[in-house]
C-alpha cells in the first residue's frame, strides 16, 4: 500500500476520534475544576511521610597540612538517621592545568587524603578540594558540600 494512502487513513482516524470527543463534551477532566471542593481523603501528601521530614544537611571541616595528611570530618543533621557518608574530591593538576573530579565512595564521618605540605624538596604538584554528601535512612540525599579552599599538596 502506498505511503500516501496510509497517511490519509491515519488522518481520517485521528479526525474521527477528535469529532467523537467533541460531540461527547470533550476529553474527561483529570483535575477538579476551580471552585469544586477537594475530598478530605486526598490531602496534600505530607501526612503519609510525616509533616516535618526534611532532607539531611551535611557539613564538612578539614585540617590542611602541615599537620600531616589532609584530614576531614563530616557531620549531618536533619533527615532520618543513620546516615551514609559519601566522599570524593576535585584535583587540580599543575602539569596538565586541568581539574579532575573523582566519583563518590561510601565511607565514615572521617576521611584522610594523601596530601602533604609542599616544601622545597617536595614542591606542590596538585591542589585538592574535598567534597561529600550524606544519604539518610529514607534515601534522602543532602546537597554536595565542598571544602571552601583548594589545598596545595606535594
- Determine the pLDDT at residue 24: 52
- Determine the pLDDT at residue 25: 54
pLDDT tens, residue by residue, 111-122: 999 888 888 998
- Say if 105 falls within a structural domain: yes
Span 136-153, average pLDDT: 96
- Say if 116 falls within a structural domain: yes
- Determine the pLDDT at residue 138: 96
- Say if 4 falls within a structural domain: no
CATH of the domain at 127: 2.60.40
Instruction: Give CA–CA dist 113/130, Å, rounded.
Output: 8
Q: Which of 7, 6, 1, 145 is nearest to 76 (CA)?
A: 145
Residue/partner pairs of 115-121 with CB below 8 Å, 24 or more apart: 115/64, 115/65, 115/69, 115/70, 115/151, 115/153, 116/65, 116/68, 116/69, 116/153, 116/154, 117/64, 117/65, 117/66, 117/154, 118/152, 118/153, 118/154, 119/154
- Say if 42 falls within a structural domain: no
Total structural domains in the chain?
1
- Say if 6 falls within a structural domain: no
Strands 126-135, 145-146: pairing is antiparallel
The DSSP call for residue 123 is -
- Say if 33 falls within a structural domain: no
- Say if 109 falls within a structural domain: yes
The residue whose grid cell reads 490531602 is 43
- Say if 130 falls within a structural domain: yes
Q: Which of 13-22, 61-70, 93-102 has the lowest mean pLDDT?
A: 13-22
Domain interval for residue 117: 57-153
Amino acid at each position: 500500500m502506498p505511503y500516501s494512502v496510509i497517511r490519509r487513513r491515519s488522518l481520517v482516524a485521528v479526525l474521527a476520534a477528535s469529532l467523537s470527543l467533541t460531540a461527547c463534551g470533550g476529553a474527561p477532566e483529570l483535575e477538579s475544576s476551580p471552585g469544586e471542593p477537594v475530598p478530605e481523603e486526598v490531602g496534600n501528601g505530607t501526612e503519609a511521610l510525616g509533616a516535618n521530614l526534611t532532607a539531611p544537611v551535611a557539613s564538612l571541616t578539614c585540617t590542611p597540612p602541615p599537620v600531616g595528611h589532609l584530614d576531614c570530618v563530616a557531620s549531618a543533621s536533619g533527615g532520618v538517621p543513620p546516615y551514609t557518608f559519601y566522599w570524593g574530591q576535585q584535583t587540580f593538576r599543575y602539569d596538565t592545568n586541568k581539574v579532575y573530579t573523582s566519583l563518590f565512595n561510601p565511607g565514615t564521618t572521617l576521611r584522610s587524603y594523601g596530601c602533604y605540605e609542599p616544601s622545597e624538596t617536595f614542591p606542590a604538584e596538585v591542589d585538592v578540594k574535598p567534597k561529600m554528601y550524606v544519604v539518610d535512612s529514607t534515601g534522602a540525599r543532602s546537597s554536595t558540600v565542598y571544602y571552601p579552599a583548594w589545598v596545595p599538596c606535594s
